[in-house]
Amino acid sequence: MSPSEHLNNLIQCGAKTRQGGSCQQPAMPNGRCRLHGGKSTGPRTPEGLEHSRKANWKHGFYSAEAKAERREVTSWIKRSQQNISLS
Ligand SMILES: [Zn+2]
């Protein structure tokens, strides 16, 4: 096997490039090359995980907590409307 054939058999990173193609670098164990997060093992500490979760947090309108709250209020309103029409 020639050196270039050997490179083709390695798992490629495949990250989207600015040229519109996909990255041809050999991937690290997590599936990305060293330039596209291959070195990163992600957040490990609880603070790191929380920071990561909130990194793009705008207002929380779509958070599970806020959605559940709206659902509860809506169903409460619906129920009270039904009660009014029944009486
Ligand atoms: Zn890459």
**Predicted structure pTM score:** 0.43
Say if 2 falls within a structural domain: no
Measured in Å, residue 26 CA sits from the centre of ligand 1 at 7
Domain of residue 28, residue span: 7-40+60-86
Say if 78 falls within a structural domain: yes
Q: What pLDDT, in 10s, does the model give residues 50-65?
A: 999 999 999 999 999 9
Per 3-state DSSP, what percentage of the chain is helix, strand, and coil (rounded to 5)?
45, 5, 50
Number of domains in the chain: 1
Q: How confident is the model at residue 47 (pLDDT cuts 50, 70, 90)?
A: very high
Measured in Å, residue 87 CA sits from the centre of ligand 1 at 66
Say if residues 24 and 35 touch (Cβ distance below 8 Å).
Answer: no
Host H or E run for residue 46: helix 46-54
Residues with CB under 5 A from ligand 1 (ion): 13, 15, 23, 25, 33, 36
Q: What pLDDT, in 10s, does the model give residues 10-43?
A: 789 999 999 999 999 999 888 899 999 888 888 8
Say if 20 falls within a structural domain: yes
Say if 51 falls within a structural domain: no
DSSP 19: T
Measured in Å, residue 29 CA sits from the centre of ligand 1 at 12
Measured in Å, residue 5 CA sits from the centre of ligand 1 at 19
Say if residues 38 and 28 touch (Cβ distance below 8 Å).
Answer: yes
**What does residue 51 show for φ and ψ, rounded to 5 degrees?**
-60, -45
Say if 16 falls within a structural domain: yes
